Amino acid sequence: MRPSQHHGGVHAFYHLVQHPIADCACAGLACFAARANRPERWQTAIGQKPIVYCLGKCYDGPSDGKHDVRPHIGSHARRTVLLDNVLAGGVRDLAVYRERGGGVAFASAQTLTPNEVVRMVHDAGLRGRGGAGFPAGIKWQAVVNEPASIKYLVVNADEGDPGAFSDRLLLEDDPFRVIEGAAIAAYAVGASRGYIYLRKEYPVAAQVVSQALEQARAAGWLQPAFELELVVGQGAYICGEETALLNALEGRRPEVRQRPPQITHHGLFGAPTLVHNVETLCSLPWIVTHGAAAHADLGFSRSRGTKLLSLNSLFRRPGLYEVEFGISLADIVGQLGQGLRRGNLKGLMVGGPLAGIVPPELLATRLGYEEMQAIDCAVGHGGVIAFADDTPIMSIIAEVFRFGARESCGECTPCHFGTPVLAALVDAAAAGASIDAARFQRLIDALAATSLCGHGRGLAEFALSVQRHYRAELQTWFG
Ligand SMILES: Cc1cc2nc3c(=O)[nH]c(=O)nc-3n(C[C@H](O)[C@H](O)[C@H](O)COP(=O)(O)O)c2cc1C
Ligand code: SF4
CATH of the domain at 455: 1.20.1440.230
pLDDT per residue as tens digits for the range 103-134 = 999 999 999 999 999 999 999 999 999 999 99
Q: How many CB atoms lie within 10 A of CB 27?
A: 26
Report the pLDDT averaged over residues 432-449: 93
Query: Which residue range forms the structural domain that includes residue 166?
Result: 72-299
Give residues (CB < 6 A) around ligand 2: 238, 256, 408-412, 415-416, 451-453, 455-456
Say yes or no: 100 and 247 in one domain: yes
Position 298 pLDDT exceeds 60: yes
Distances in whole angstroms, Cα of residue 230 to Cα of each of 4, 177, 204, 324, 373 = 10, 15, 13, 31, 34
Task: Check if the beta carbon of residue 425 is closer than 8 Å to that of residue 465.
Answer: no
Q: How many CB atoms lie within 10 A of CB 477?
A: 20
- CA 448, chain centre distance (Å): 21
119 in a domain, yes or no? Answer: yes
Written in H, E and C, the secondary structure of the chain is: CCCCCCCCCHHHHCCCCCCCHHHCECCCHHHHHCHHHCHHHHHHHHHCCCCCCCCCCHHHCCCECCCCCCCEEEECCCCCCCCHHHHCCCCCCHHHHHHCCCCHHHHHHCCCCHHHHHHHHHHHCCECCCCCCCEHHHHHHHHHCCCCCCCEEEEEECCCCCCCCHHHHHHHHCHHHHHHHHHHHHHHHCCCEEEEEECCCCHHHHHHHHHHHHHHHHCCCCCCCCEEEEEECCCCHHHHCHHHHHHHHCCCCCCCCCCCCCCCCCCHHHCCEEEEEHHHHHCHHHHHHHCHHHHHHCEECCEECEEEEEECCCECCCEEEEEECCCEHHHHHHHHCCCECCCCEEEEEECCCCCCCECHHHCCCECCHHHHHCCCCCCCCCEEEEEECCCCHHHHHHHHHHHHHHHCCCCCHHHHHHHHHHHHHHHHHHCCCCCCHHHHHHHHHHHHHHCCCHHHHHHHHHHHHHHHHCHHHHHHHHC
Residue-level pLDDT at 10: 83
What one-letter code names the amino acid at 210? S
pLDDT per residue as tens digits for the range 242-271 = 999 999 999 999 999 999 999 999 999 999
Q: Which of 251, 282, 299 is the last residue of a domain?
A: 299
CATH of the domain at 234: 3.40.50.11540
Average pLDDT, the chain: 94
16 in a domain, yes or no? Answer: no
Residue scoring higher pLDDT (136 or 15): 136
Q: Which of 243, 268, 299 is the last residue of a domain?
A: 299
Going by alpha carbons, the residue nearest to atom 18 of ligand 1 is 242
Going by alpha carbons, the residue nearest to atom 1 of ligand 2 is 456
Say yes or no: 265 and 405 in one domain: no
What is the number of the ligand 1 atom nearest to the C-alpha of 242?
17
Ligand 1 probe mutation, 241, 257, 419, most atoms within 8 A of CB: 241
State the distance from the centre of ligand 2 to the C-alpha of 238, rounded, in angstroms.
8
78 in a domain, yes or no? Answer: yes
Report the pLDDT averaged over residues 167-191: 97
Ligand 1 probe mutation, 54, 126, 168, 277, most atoms within 8 A of CB: 277
Which of the ligands is closest to the CA of residue 153? 1
Which of the ligands is closest to the CA of residue 242? 1
Say yes or no: 82 and 230 in one domain: yes
State the distance from the centre of ligand 1 to the C-alpha of 313, rounded, in angstroms.
24
Say yes or no: 400 and 270 in one domain: no
Which helix (H) or strand (E) segment holds residue 350: the answer is strand 345-350
Position 18 pLDDT exceeds 80: no
What is the number of the ligand 2 atom nearest to the C-alpha of 457?
1
Residue-level pLDDT at 1: 46
Q: Kindly report whether the peptide bond that precedes residue 62 is cis, defined as omega within 30 degrees of 0.
A: yes
454 in a domain, yes or no? Answer: yes
Position 464 pLDDT exceeds 50: yes
What is the number of the ligand 2 atom nearest to the C-alpha of 410?
7
pLDDT per residue as tens digits for the range 180-196 = 999 999 999 999 999 99
Ligand 2 probe mutation, 409, 422, 447, 461, most atoms within 8 A of CB: 409
Say yes or no: 158 and 290 in one domain: yes
Which of the ligands is closest to the CA of residue 277? 1
Going by alpha carbons, the residue nearest to atom 14 of ligand 1 is 241
How does residue 8 score in pLDDT terms, banded at 50, 70 and 90?
low
Closest to 337 measured CA to CA, from 279, 283, 383: 383
Give residues (CB < 6 A) around ligand 1: 128-132, 134, 156, 158-161, 238, 240-242, 275-277, 280, 453-455
State the distance from the centre of ligand 1 to the C-alpha of 60, rounded, in angstroms.
24
Report the pLDDT averaged over residues 199-226: 92
66 in a domain, yes or no? Answer: no
Residue-level pLDDT at 308: 98
What one-letter code names the amino acid at 80? T
Position 16 pLDDT exceeds 80: no
Which of the ligands is closest to the CA of residue 448? 2
Residue 290 and residue 108: Cα distance in Å, rounded? Answer: 11
Position 44 pLDDT exceeds 60: yes
State the distance from the centre of ligand 2 to the C-alpha of 247, rounded, in angstroms.
14
State the distance from the centre of ligand 1 to the C-alpha of 6, rounded, in angstroms.
22
Which of the ligands is closest to the CA of residue 258? 2
Q: What are phi and psi of 476, to 5 degrees?
A: -55, -35
Say yes or no: 136 and 276 in one domain: yes
State the distance from the centre of ligand 2 to the C-alpha of 413, rounded, in angstroms.
8
What are the residue ranges of helices labelled H in 34-93? 39-47, 84-87
Q: What is the DSSP string of 11-32?
A: GGG-S-TT--GGG-B--SHHHH
Q: Which of 243, 264, 299 is the last residue of a domain?
A: 299
374 in a domain, yes or no? Answer: no
How does residue 162 score in pLDDT terms, banded at 50, 70 and 90?
confident
Ligand 1 probe mutation, 53, 238, 242, most atoms within 8 A of CB: 242
**Domains in the chain, number:** 2
Say yes or no: 84 and 232 in one domain: yes
| Percent of the chain that is helix, strand, coil (3-state, to 5) | 45, 15, 40
49 in a domain, yes or no? Answer: no
State the distance from the centre of ligand 2 to the C-alpha of 453, rounded, in angstroms.
5
294 in a domain, yes or no? Answer: yes
Q: What are phi and psi of 120, to 5 degrees?
A: -60, -45
Position 3 pLDDT exceeds 60: no
Q: What is the DSSP string of 376-403?
A: T---TT-EEEEEETTS-HHHHHHHHHHH
Q: What percent of the chain has pLDDT over 70?
A: 98
Ligand 2 probe mutation, 237, 258, 415, 462, most atoms within 8 A of CB: 415
Report the pLDDT averaged over residues 407-420: 95
Say yes or no: 120 and 253 in one domain: yes
